[in-house]
């Protein structure tokens, strides 16, 4: 988990959720970022944004 981005496996581990739930969360976060004008990558979510939205102190 040293990357700037989380994959579905990282999201599953952080939130203790299923693969499908992790993909759903990532899709939703990427849609939020796209609406704000940011470029997104399918299958990845920025680590900083994910941690901010889920109030994870790093």
- pLDDT for the residue numbered 57: 80
> Using CA of residue 26, residue 54, residue 1, residue 18, what is the dihedral sign?
negative
State the average pLDDT over residues 39-54. Answer: 95
State the average pLDDT over residues 23-42. Answer: 97
* Domain span at 38: 5-53
**Quick check: 58 pLDDT over 80?**
no
Is 58 domain-assigned? no
Is 20 domain-assigned? yes
**Quick check: 37 pLDDT over 90?**
yes
Cα dist from 23 to 5, 41, 57, 58, whole Å: 14, 12, 22, 22
**Quick check: 38 pLDDT over 70?**
yes
Is 12 domain-assigned? yes
């Amino acid at each position: 988990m040293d990357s700037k981005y989380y994959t579905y496996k990282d999201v599953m581990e952080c939130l203790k959720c299923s693969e499908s739930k992790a993909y759903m969360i990532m899709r939703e976060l990427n849609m939020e970022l796209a609406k704000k004008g940011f470029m997104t990558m399918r299958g990845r979510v920025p680590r900083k944004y994910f941690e901010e939205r889920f109030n994870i102190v790093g």
